[in-house]
Amino acid sequence: MEEYLADTDPRGSNSVLRVTRNIRSGGGLRIEWKGGRWARQYIQRSEALNASGDGWTDIHTNDTLPTGATNFVLDADAAHPALFYRIKVDR
């Protein structure tokens, strides 16, 4: 079910949903990730790793499908020294 929601192929080792790189850029943080092309992807941020559902804030959503196989967003508000990021998907 998770593979279907993320639009990844369980038989393909390169077909994954994951953050691939974080780079400091001009006072912000560039977050790069891979994912399925037909899944809506939400990049979320929190100040606590164990935050409940409402403790995560959407900072980017891929609304136009299909998405690229690799994507990035610049979080210009990444001034806090300890921020956590995750990817949430739906179809």
Number of structural domains (the chain) is 1
What is the domain range of residue 78? 2-90
State yes or no: pLDDT of 50 exceeds 90. Answer: no
Question: What predicted TM-score, i.e. pTM, was given to this entire model?
Answer: 0.85
Which residue has better confidence, 29 or 53? 29
Q: What is the pLDDT of residues 14-37, one digit of tens each?
A: 899 999 999 988 878 999 999 999
Instruction: Please spell the DSSP secondary structure of the chain, one letter per residue.
Output: -HHHHHT--TT-TT---EEEEEEEETTEEEEEEE--TTSEEEEEEES-TT--GGG-EEEEE--SSSPPSEEEEEETTTTSSS-EEEEEEE-
CA distance between the termini of the chain: 11
Q: Is the link from the previous residue into 81 a cis peptide, with omega within 30 of 0?
A: no
CATH, residue 58:
2.60.40
